[in-house]
Chain A
Amino acid sequence: MVFTTHIFLFYFLPVVLLLYYLLPRHRNAFLTLASYVFYGWWEPWFVVLMMFSTVLDYVCGGIIGAPGASRARRRAALLAAICGDLGLLAFFKYYSFAAENWNRLAAVFGAGSLPLLHVVLPIGISFYTFESMSYTIDVYRGIVKPARNFSDLSCFVSLFPHLVAGPIVRYNVLAEQIAYREHTLEKFTCGIALFILGFAKKILLANPMGSVADAAFSAAAPLPLDAWVGVVAYAFQIYFDFSGYSDMAIGLGRMFGFVIPKNFASPYLAASITDFWRRWHISLSTWLRDYLYVPLGGNRRGLRRTYVNLALVMLLGGLWHGANWTFVAWGGYHGVLLAFERWLGKKTAYEWLPRRAQVAATFVLVLFSWVLFRAASFHQAAAYLGAMFGARPAGDAAALLASEMYTPHRLAVLAACVAACFQPMEVYDWVERLTWQKAVALAPLFLAAAGAMFTQTFNPFLYFQF
C-alpha cells in the first residue's frame, strides 16, 4: 500500500487508528497484523517472506542471547541469521543481475551458464532485511537483549510506517518503545503535521519534478540547459520523494506513539561530500558505518585501508540500492569522493571558496552522481552527461522539450523546491514546536495535496524499488 493513495488515507489509516486506540491491550500484535495487511496489499505472498526473515532472526537472537550460550553456538546462530537474511536478499534482489553477468563471462570463458529466472523483487526487502539483521547483530554484540517475545520483534520488523522505504530503524531504538510508549496529544498532533508535510512534499513537489526529470532523461538528445534542469529536477524529485516518505513514516509512527529518528538534515546544504553523507539517508549511512565500515576496520588500520574501506562501503551501499552496475558506479563515485576528502584531511578541494560556493560545488558533484543513479545504463548516463556539456548534437525536436519542462506550474514548483532545499530547517525540526499558526498553515496545504492526489495518476515512491 502506498501512503499517498485514496485507499491508505481514507480507509486503512482511519480503520487502523480507530481499532488501535480502542484496544486496551495487544496493541503491538494488532499493529503487526495491520502491517502485514499493509505489506501484503502489494502481493500477499511477500508477507510469508518477511515472516520467514523475522522468525529466523527471532530464533537466532534467542540462541545468541540465551544464558550460558557458548561462543561457538552464538557465532553459528549469528552466521545463520546473516546468511539467511542476506541469502533472501541476494536471491530476490540480485539473482537475475548475477546470472546475467555470470552468463556474459561464461560466454567468454566457455563456462556453464546459470538459468535466467523471473524473480519478482519483494518491495522493501532491502529495508526490512537490514533492520532484522541489525537486531541479531546487536544481540550478538550485547547492545540489546533478545526480544521478549515474537510479537515484539515482528512488530519491530513489520511496523508499517517505516516498513517499505525506511527510515532503517534499529531494534535498540524501538525495543523500549515497543515495550512501553506514551501516547500523547502533542505527539499525535506533531505526527499529523509531519505526515501532512511529507504528503505535500511527495504530491506537490516530488511528482511534478519527476515529470520534468522524466521528460529530460527520456529525450533522445536534450539541449544542455534542459539536461541540467532535468538532473536538478531529479535531485529535487528524489529528495522530496524520499524525505517526504520518511516524514510521513515518522509522522505515522508518532500517531502510534513511536519516536523514529530523522533521516534527512538539509542534504543539499552540505559543503562537502562527507557532509552530504551526514545529512542524506542518515539511517542508511549510519547502518553502513556501524555494521560494515567499523567491522572492516574503519579508520583504525591506517590511511590506505581507510580509503579502501570507504570505497568498499559505498560500493556496497550503491549495490544495496539496486541490482545494476550504474548503482555500483554511483556508490563508487561517492566512495572515491569521500576517500579524496579524507586524503585532503577531511577537507574539500574547494575549501577556499566562500561557504555558499562550497555548497554549490557539492551540489554539482551530487548532480553528476544522480545522473548515474537515474540512468538505466552506462550508455544512457554517458549520453546524458554528454548532453549536459553539449557534447551530443541535439536533434531538431530537442527544442520542443521546453514546452513540457518549463510550464508555469513546473517552474513554480522548481522555484519552491529551490526555496525549500536551500534553507536550513528540516520539517522534522519545524514541527517540534508546532504553533497554532503552523497548524493553520498546514490545513490548506493538506487540502491542496489531497486534491492534487485525486488528479494525479498512480505514482509510487522512488525508494520502493530498492
Chain B
Amino acid sequence: MGRARQLVFLGWFLALIYGVPAYQSAAEILRGRAPQFLEVFTTTPTRPNLRAFEHRVEDASLVAQAVRPWMQDAWFALFRDAGEKVVTGREDWLFYEPDLRYLVEPGEPGEPFEAIVDFRDQLARQGIRLIVLAIPGKPSVYPDRLTSRVAAGRTIRSSTLDLLAALRHSGIEAPDLFDFFAKLRREPASSPWYLPQDTHWSAEGARRAAAAVARRIRDLGWIGPGPVRYTERPVTVRRTGDIARMIRVAAIERHYPLEEVSCRQVMRQDTGEPYRDAADSPVLVLGDSFLRMYETDEPRAAGFIAHLARELGRPLASVVNDGGASTLVRQELSRRPALLEGKKLVIWEFVERDIRFGTEGWQKVRLPAAP
C-alpha cells in the first residue's frame, strides 16, 4: 500500500477515535457544560468511582445513543435479533429471556419453599388460609411458538411442578395451573391464552384461570358465595406487548402491530359500575403484573382479580407489585398490618420465573401479630 493510501487509512482511523470524544465535548460545551471526561480529574480514583465514571461516559455518549438504534434495527432486519432480553420465536411470537432461562437452567426450590411455608404458618396463626398460585411462564405454555422442536400444542412440565408438589406435601394449597393451561391449549380457541408479544396471559387466559381458582376455593369450602352480583361487558383493547416495548427501538416496535385483546369487563349488576376492590374483603390477593393486566391497566376491571371476584360473588382486596411478588408484597403486609384485618383467605400469585429471579429473592418476612 502506498504512503498516500497509508495516510488515508491512518487519517480515517484517527478521525474516528478522535471524532467521537471531540463531538461529545463540543456538544457538551455548546450546552454550556464542561466536557464530561474532565470529571475524571475531580474523581477520587477508587474502583467504584472509576466504574461509575465509565458508565456515565458510556451512557451519555451521543454517538452511542445515535448508533445503537441503527445497529439494533440492522441486526433485527438481518437476523431477527431483537436484543439480549428478547428471544424471537416462531410466527412473530416474542419471549422474555429470563422466562426461558428459568426453564432451561437448573435451580433449587429451597429458598422459596421455606419462605412460603413460613408465610403459611404465620397466616395460620391468625386464622388465615393460603392458596399459592404459581403462574406458568409463557414458554411453559407455548413452547411450540419458541422452537419447532416442540410438537404443536404441547406444553412444558417445568421444575416449578416440583416446588408445587413439595408445597402440597407440606399441606399448602397450590393449584396446578400448568395442567390447567395444557388442557386449555387442547381446546379450540380463537385467540391464544398468552399474548404473542407480551410476557403475560391474555384477558381470556386470566378469566379462565380465575374461574378455575374460584372453583377450587368453592370445592374447599373456604369462602362461601358472596352477596354481590356482577355482569360482564365485552371490551376490546389495543396494546403494545411489554416484550415488544423492551426492545426500545421504534423501527422494530413498528414491526409488531398493536395487539387486539378481547376482554370482558366486570360490572356490578346493582350499580352498573366497573368492579372495584374492597379493603374489608375476607379475601386478599397478592401478586405481580399478572394481576395488574386488564385490572388497573386498560380496560380496567377485566383481569384476574375482577373475574375471581365475580366468581366468588364478592369484591376482593389486593396488593400488586410488578416483579415483586416473591418478597415485596409480603413486606408491604408487614408494613401495613391493616391489610390483613378481617381476612380469611390470602391468594398469593407469582410467575414461575420469580422462583429464581424474584426481586429481593425469597426472604422470610415477619408479619405483624394479629390484633
Instruction: List residues of chain A with CB under 8 Å of any chain B CB.
Output: 5-7, 9-11, 13-14, 17, 40-44, 185-186, 188-189, 192, 196, 215, 218-220, 395-404, 407-409, 412, 434-436, 439, 443, 446, 450-452, 454-457
Contact = CB atoms under 8 A, between A and B. Distances in A.
B233 to A, nearest CB: 38
B79 A403 contact: no
A396 B178 CA distance: 13
Contacts of A17: 14
B105 A219 contact: yes
A435 B150 CA distance: 50
Nearest to B8: A439
Given A44-B45, A400-B100, A455 B147 contact: no
B156 A400 contact: yes
Nearest to A43: B47
Interface in B147-197: 147, 149-150, 156-159
B66 to A, nearest CB: 9
Interface of B: 1-3, 5-7, 9-10, 12-14, 16-18, 20-21, 37, 45-47, 50, 54, 57-58, 61, 63-64, 67-68, 70-72, 75, 78-81, 83-84, 87-89, 95, 97, 100-101, 103-106, 139, 143, 146-147, 149-150, 156-159
B277 to A, nearest CB: 36
B64 A439 contact: no
A122 B119 CA distance: 44
Nearest to A398: B104
A221 to B, nearest CB: 8
Given A11-B37, A409-B81, A436 B104 contact: no
A403 B70 contact: no
A408 B80 contact: yes
A435 B9 CA distance: 11
B100 A439 contact: no
A459 to B, nearest CB: 11
A-B pairs, 8 with minimum CB distance: A409-B79, A220-B106, A397-B103, A399-B149, A451-B71, A454-B64, A10-B20, A408-B79
B1 A435 contact: yes
Contacts of A196: 13
A408 B159 CA distance: 29
Contacts of A412: 79
29 contacts: A6-B58, A7-B54, A7-B57, A13-B17, A14-B18, A44-B47, A185-B3, A185-B6, A185-B7, A185-B10, A188-B10, A189-B9, A215-B104, A220-B105, A220-B159, A397-B156, A397-B159, A407-B81, A408-B78, A409-B78, A409-B79, A446-B13, A450-B67, A451-B70, A451-B71, A454-B64, A454-B71, A455-B68, A455-B83
Given A7-B58, A436-B5, A42 B16 contact: no
Nearest to B139: A400
Main secondary structure of the interface of B (DSSP, over half): helix
B104 A219 contact: yes
A412 B7 CA distance: 34
Nearest to A41: B50
Nearest to A40: B45
B203 to A, nearest CB: 26
B77 to A, nearest CB: 11
A132 B32 CA distance: 48
A424 B217 CA distance: 70
Contacts of A189: 1, 6, 9-10
Given A6-B58, A192-B9, A400 B104 contact: yes
A209 to B, nearest CB: 14
A348 to B, nearest CB: 37
Contacts of A408: 78-81
A161 B103 CA distance: 42
A244 B84 CA distance: 23
B47 A396 contact: no
B61 A6 contact: yes
Given A398-B104, A403-B89, A407-B80, A434 B1 contact: yes
B62 to A, nearest CB: 11
Contacts of B146: 400, 403
A11 B149 CA distance: 47
Nearest to A188: B10
Given A14-B18, A435-B1, A400 B103 contact: yes
Of the candidates B14, B54, B78, B83, the one having the most CB atoms from chain A within 10 angstroms of its own CB is B54
- Looking at B2, B6, B21, which has the most chain A CB atoms within 10 Å of its CB? B6
Nearest to B19: A10
Given A6-B64, A11-B37, A454-B68, A192 B84 contact: no
Contacts of A14: 14, 17-18, 21
Contact of A439 (B5, B57, B78, B81): B5
